[in-house]
Amino acid sequence: MLRLMIVDDEEMAIRRLKRLLSEIGGIGSIETFLDPQEGYEYAQEHDVDVAFLDISMPDINGMRLSALLSEMRRNIDIVLVTGSDEYAVRAYAINVLDYIVKPVTSERLAVTMEKIHRVRRQDDPVPSLDVQLFDGLKIIRRTNEGKKETIRLRTPKTEELFAFLACKRTVAREEVTETLWQNLAPDNALKNLNSTLYAIRKAVGYDRSGGGIITTGNEIRLESDDLRCDLYEFERLIKELRRAPDESAIMLEQAEALYKGPLLKGRSYEWAIEISRSLEQQYIDLLELTAGHHRMHDRPNQTLHYYSEMLKIDAMREDIHYKMMRLYAELGRKHEAMRQYHELEQLLQRELGTSPDMRLEDVIS
């Protein structure tokens, strides 16, 4: 799903372009900015695949902004949009992807989007590693022939270091040694770190490719260009959904599908506990958001499904039990509402020695 950005100092032009783009498939999000400086600052903090830039803007015009964005993000595609074709030659000279003259039409925009998809298919390298952190740890490498092979790291400590780098992405050496080798003297811990890094590089092929794990000064960084990670995609989708929670049911479903289980399930890494809890809470929030989306659009079965998924993770959510009972009652499924109440009643009695705050009659009346 493409992440787009529109920068234009004319609000009507932004509205028209956003509407036309929204009618085209394959787009995940569209951010809009009247101020080019705000657009530039947004791109500094967020991934953007394609930027549609008006040329004639105050302070920072589209030509200058395109250069700034290209310097900052090498994978961004630039489309210049303007009321005149006088800049066309200069636009292509600075290597923009396309140039559209206003007023933008759906037919002309379709040509641009086809060019974007074609270029990105050609230029985007296929990540050589698939890293799955939810519901365990799995590393899968793609060979040059397109085959997939599971990588098995040689020791538990090698697995833990890879998982630590995958979760942290960039980390100081001292933090790694103090976390994973806290019982060793600093020199011995550093030797263990270096030998374990070497083992990871050799196992995943980074010793041959020269990429992957980068060490600069006191920092160690796991390069994300060469891998696809479920955690990174989940975090990106959560960020997009927080900005526009009602705009994309597709993103809700994608994020929900990525969370196959707790982070690094089956690994007892103390450093991962807080991260795992945070992600679990974000997932529960996502399920509640998705349930609310389906409830608002009168999809009771989907709503009940997501409520049930929430209770599988946090069975003590009385409020969700009550919401399910009310929805069952609305659907005329009184027997299931009663069953849900008795499940809650037994759960509270067993775990807390208490009873539900509300009676069944009060919930479904």
pLDDT for position 144: 60
Q: pLDDT tens per residue, the chain (365 residues)? A: 788 999 998 999 999 999 898 888 778 789 999 999 999 989 888 888 899 998 888 777 778 888 888 877 777 889 988 876 555 434 444 567 888 888 888 888 988 888 888 877 655 555 578 899 999 999 988 766 667 888 999 899 999 999 999 999 889 999 999 999 999 999 999 999 999 998 998 888 765 444 578 887 788 888 776 688 999 999 888 887 776 655 556 677 788 889 999 999 999 999 999 999 999 999 998 889 888 888 988 999 999 999 999 999 999 999 999 999 999 999 999 999 999 999 999 999 999 999 998 888 888 77
Fold of the domain built from segment(s) 129-228: Arc Repressor Mutant, subunit A (1.10.10)
CATH 1.10.10.10 residue spans of the chain: 129-228
pLDDT for 340 equals 95
pTM attached to this predicted model: 0.61
Q: What CATH number labels 2-123?
A: 3.40.50.2300
What are the start and end residues of each CATH 1.25.40.10 domain in the chain? 237-364
Quick one: pLDDT at residue 214?
Answer: 81
Give CA angle at 74 (118, 116), nearest 5°: 20
Question: What is the topology classification, in CATH, of domain 237-364?
Answer: 1.25.40
What is the pLDDT, as a whole number, of residue 92?
Answer: 42
List, by residue range, all CATH 3.40.50.2300 domains of the chain. Answer: 2-123
Asked whether the beta carbons of 258 and 134 are under 8 A apart, the reply is yes
pLDDT value of position 6:
95
